[in-house]
Structure 1
Amino acid sequence: MQPLSIGIIGDFDAANPTHAATNAALQHAAHALSTPIDIAWLSTPPYESEEQIHALKAYHGLWGAPGSPYESRDGAINAIRYAREHDIPFLGT
């Protein structure tokens, strides 16, 4: 079975308990569903650029990370907009 690829739009901070909890929640859900999962934290500054934004099509779903602020508010908004406009499932927390 091919892993489910989930991109988390946000700037990972190991000291932020909500970021660790996000990873744990996704792993827990994948285990409960017997589904392999690949989780990638997607730093927000690259998504300020139209050239980088199209890389998001590689993900089965996107999650807006809890625990802002984001390094790039515009990058986060662009990534969320891309998900919405290209029918990529998106969860915002």
Structure 2
Amino acid sequence: MQPLKIGIIGDFDTTNPTHVATNAALQHAAQALSTPIDIEWLSTPPYENAEKLRSLEAYHGLWGAPGSPYRSRDGAINAIRFAREHDIPFLGT
């Protein structure tokens, strides 16, 4: 079984408890469902560029990181909009 590929839109910070908890929650859910998962944090500045947005099609689902000040608010909004407009499942917290 191929892993479920989940992208987290946000700028990972090891000192942010919500970021650490997000990884743990996804791992816990995957384990409970016996589903392999591949989690990738997606830094927001690259998504200011419309061409970079196409790379989001590689994910089975996207999650808007909780507890962020995003390094690029525009990049985060562009990525969220792309998910919505291209029917990529999205969870915003």
Q: Same fold (TM over 0.5)?
A: yes
Q: Distance in 1 between matches of 2:26 and 2:20?
A: 10
User: Who is 1:58 aligned against?
Assistant: 58
Q: CA deviation at 1:37?
A: 0.1
Whichever residue aligns with residue 50 of structure 1, its letter is A
Structure 1 position 73 matched with structure 2 position 83? no
- After superposing on structure 2, the runs of 4+ consecutive aligned residues of structure 1 that deviate more than 2 Å are none
User: Who is 1:45 aligned against?
Assistant: 45
When the two chains are superposed, the root-mean-square deviation of aligned CA atoms in Å is: 0.3
**SS of equivalent to 1:34:** coil
Q: Distance in 2 between matches of 1:51 and 1:89?
A: 20
After TM superposition, the structure 1 = structure 2 runs for residues 22-37 of structure 1, keeping only pairs within 5 Å, are 22-37=22-37
> Structure 1 stretches of 5 or more lacking a match?
none
Task: Please give the per-residue CA displacement for 1:8-35, whole angstroms capped at 9, x wherever unaligned.
Answer: 0000000000000000000000000000
Task: Please give the per-residue CA displacement for 1:22-78, whole angstroms capped at 9, x wherever unaligned.
Answer: 000000000000000000000000000011010000000000000121000000000
Q: Distance in 2 between matches of 1:67 and 1:13?
A: 10
Q: Distance in 2 between matches of 1:31 and 1:4?
A: 12
Could you state the TM-score of these two structures normalised by the residue count of structure 2?
0.99
Between the two proteins, the alignment pairs up a number of residues equal to: 93
